[in-house]
Amino acid sequence: MDTPTSTNPSWLERLRTHRLSTTFALLATLSAGILAGSILTRGVSGKEQTRVDTSDAKPLVVPAAASLSNGFSQIAKQVGPAVVNINTESLPKQSTTKGRRRPGQRPPSGDDQGDMQDFFNRFFGNPGGGDDDGQFGPSERRALGSGFIVDSRGYIITNNHVVDKADKIYVKLSTDPDGGPDTEGRPATVIGTDKDTDIAVIKIDTDKPLPSVKLGNSDGAQVGDWVLAVGSPFGLSQTVSAGIVSAKNRSIDEPTPSGVSQSQFQKFIQTDAAINPGNSGGPLVDMAGQVIGMNTAIYTQSMGSQGVGFAMPSNIIVNVYNSLIGPEHKVVRGSIGISFQSSLSSAVGRMYGFKNGVIVSTVTPTGGAAKAGIQPGDVIVSIDGREIKDGDDLVNDISARKVGTTVKLGYLRDGKQNTANVAIGDRNKTYADLAGNNDDDDNSPQESDAGQSKLGITVSAIPPTVAQKTGISKGVIVTNVRPGSFADEINLVKGTIITEINKKPVTDEASYRAIVTALKSKDDVVFVVHSPLQKGGGNSYVGGTLP
């Protein structure tokens, strides 16, 4: 028999094995008991074996539809069919500006005053991203905006920044199908644009009358009135939001690159109706179902609605629209060629001896005021004998006058009353002079841009040296061809001279713009061209079908 000594390992090993076996057996017994208890418990109280009698439960029934309208739903039904979704595409362009900021990217240090993000600069038209010019590099930009039909023949009002620089514009009605590659919308043509008020008129072809909105008088809107904003925020068409008129005649100073403020023609209706990216160009509707404004911009720190939106009043829209559908398709405003400080302290008036009026800051040398002897420091106090209140009063009066007419200005100089007969000039030319830019293309941007947007080319008059070399003096010469454009696809190259389009003679830039402006999507376009390298060479014909 083995003895339990430290020198007998076989005995110790057997003892350890016996103890482990006893322990495992105990644990197995406990586990089995716990498991059995668990099964017994589930068997007694579990849901598997319990059935509840629901014979006394009554089925739910959908009640008959009840009309609980507060007026909003009726207005939405009335206006909604005339509100459209607008998609635009721009072919890739080579960016020449460095350091552009993409939506959502914080500005560099010291540039945090961007509360009016992308004001009149694609905020509403580009919720999907992209830089300020919509330049994605190799891909196309697709912007989203809204608009509303004002004429059953297909005339639509929207914001200029929704369609600006677009190569293709598509309009989708509420009745058009959604989804699929062939349902992007109906091709639209730009009739005219006005950058000063950010208003554009586009048109779609239709074989039957389309639903249209009723325009109201924005002067009748009062602070506190209920209004509805209708549009396509973030591409969600036929979205309606409600709010009130928060303020009227609101100005927002956003200077142009030349330093000239555009706010002289931008007097907004402020509203707290939710306006978001994509709403731009949609209508602001009163409780009579009439459009009193066009949603244009918001004040935001979050890239979304914060209850401070701005709509262009309908009375301004009507005047601009009537000019854009006219023969020249542009807005011509009068000017006398001066600049002035928009707001002055009452102390300034007391010092210079006037209560109402405008102190002239600068005088354009080629403007009517300079030719009539008006000088910086003069105080303009009346127009044709009527006292003016302030700078807005002066601008509104002068800009509405016809170019070429004259106006009698009353002004103070050194405290003495004087009068002068001043000729009214074209405001576009006047401000081009103030900016030091006499390029005539600035006078009619919608015409000069027609070739760029539709064809993808820019042109100029034939230089004398080229005319002498080729013997061709009438026509235009192609100065640039955008890659991927219609012109590029039909092999129209830089330096080509165009003398005819669709059997219509091109004698100069004006005739070229007139022909191109009339072109529409799906039109066949055929050019008669000449190479400047071939003196006296014959005609060449290039053409294709506009997308």
pLDDT in tens, 185-227: 899 999 999 988 999 999 999 999 999 999 999 999 999 999 9
Q: pLDDT confidence of 235, banded at 50, 70, 90?
A: confident
Q: Which helix (H) or strand (E) holds 186?
A: strand 186-194
pLDDT tens-place string over residues 89-107: 877 654 433 333 333 333 3
* 15 inside domain: no
Q: Are residues 318 and 343 in the same domain?
A: no
Whether 410 and 285 map to the same domain: the answer is: no
CA 129 to CA 83: how far, in whole Å? Answer: 24
Identify the band that residue 19 occupies on the pLDDT scale cut at 50, 70 and 90. low
Give the model's confidence band at 183: pLDDT under 50 very low, under 70 low, under 90 confident, else very high. low
Both 471 and 525 in one domain: the answer is: yes
CA torsion, ordered 426, 430, 432, 437, to nearest 10 deg: 120
- Distance, in Å, from the CA atom of 459 to the CA atom of 476, rounded to the nearest integer, reads 6
Tell me: pLDDT of 73 over 80. yes
pLDDT of 179 reads 56
Distance CA 71, CA 90 (A): 40
Domain at 508, CATH number: 2.30.42.10
- CA 325, CA 348: separation in Å to the nearest integer? 44
Tokens of 223: 């602070």
Query: Which of the four pLDDT bands, split at 50, 70 and 90, describes residue 124?
Result: very low
Note whether 142 and 252 are same-domain residues.
yes
What are 456-502's pLDDT values in tens digits? Answer: 899 988 888 888 888 888 899 998 888 888 998 888 888 889 999 99
CA-to-CA distance for 473 and 465, rounded, in angstroms?
10
User: Is residue 463 domain-shared with residue 392, that is, in the same domain?
Assistant: no
Structurally, how many domains does the chain consist of? 3
Whole-number Å distance between alpha carbons of 219 and 205:
33
Q: Averaged over 112-118, what is the pLDDT?
A: 36
**Catalytic machinery residues:** 161, 198, 280
Q: Give the number of other Cβ atoms within 10 Å of residue 530's Cβ.
A: 22
User: Contact 458/451 with Cβ under 8 angstroms?
Assistant: yes
Domain identity same for 165 and 187: yes
Residue with tokens 């739910």: 60
- Looking up residue 311, the CATH number of its domain turns out to be 2.40.10.120
Residue 18 lies in a domain: no
Q: How many CB atoms are closer than 10 A to CB 302?
A: 7
pLDDT at 84: 94
Is the pLDDT at 361 greater than 70? The verdict is yes
Tell me whether residue 210 is in a domain: yes
Q: Is residue 444 part of a domain?
A: no
Q: Is residue 188 part of a domain?
A: yes
* CB neighbour list of residue 545: distance below 8 Å, 6 or more residues apart: 522, 523, 524, 525
Kindly report, residue by residue over 274-302, the tens digit of the pLDDT.
888 888 899 999 999 999 999 988 876 66
Largest distance between two CA atoms of the chain: 142
- Pick from 109-123, 243-257, 336-350, 401-415 the range whose average pLDDT is largest: 401-415
Residues in the chain: 547
Q: Is the pLDDT of residue 5 over 50?
A: no
* C-alpha–C-alpha distance, residues 422 and 15, integer Å: 124
**Collapsing DSSP states into helix, strand and coil, what is residue 405?**
coil
For residue 347, give both structure tokens: 């102390």
Closest CA to 293 of 268, 266, 274, 312: 312
Q: Are 116 and 254 in contact (CB under 8 A)?
A: yes
Cα–Cα distance, 470 to 536 (Å, whole number): 6
Over its C-alpha atoms, the chain yields an Rg (Å, rounded) of: 36
Nearest-CA neighbor of 288 among 224, 211, 210, 227? 227
168/294 same-domain check: yes
Name, of 240-244, 258-262, 448-452, the range with top average pLDDT. Answer: 240-244
- Single out the residue in 282, 301, 324 at which a domain terminates: 324
Answer yes or no: is pLDDT of 262 > 90: no
Say what the pLDDT of residue 14 is: 54
Residues 423 and 285 in one domain: no
What is the per-residue pLDDT for 422? 94
Q: What is the pLDDT of residue 95?
A: 41
Residue % of the chain over a pLDDT of 90: 34
Considering the domain architecture, whether residues 141 and 220 belong to the same structural domain is answered as: yes
Domain assignment present for 10? no
pLDDT of amino acid 318: 95
What average pLDDT does the structure give for the chain?
Answer: 77
Q: What is the pLDDT of residue 506?
A: 93
- Rounded CA gap, 218 and 410, in Å? 32
The structure tokens listed for 444 are: 């009619």
For residues 80 and 213, give the distance between their C-alpha atoms in angstroms, rounded to a whole number: 9
Name the percent of the chain in helix, strand, coil, to the closest 5. 25, 30, 45
**Domain coverage including residue 279:** 72-94+114-324
Whether residue 360 is found in the same domain as residue 299: no
395-427 residue pLDDT tens: 889 988 999 999 999 999 988 999 999 999 998
Among 324, 353, 377, the domain-final residue is 324
How many Å from the N-terminal Cα to the C-terminal Cα in the chain?
Answer: 108
Last residue of a domain, one of 324, 342, 368: 324
Does 278 lie in the same domain as 130?
Answer: yes
| 539 and 391 within one domain | no
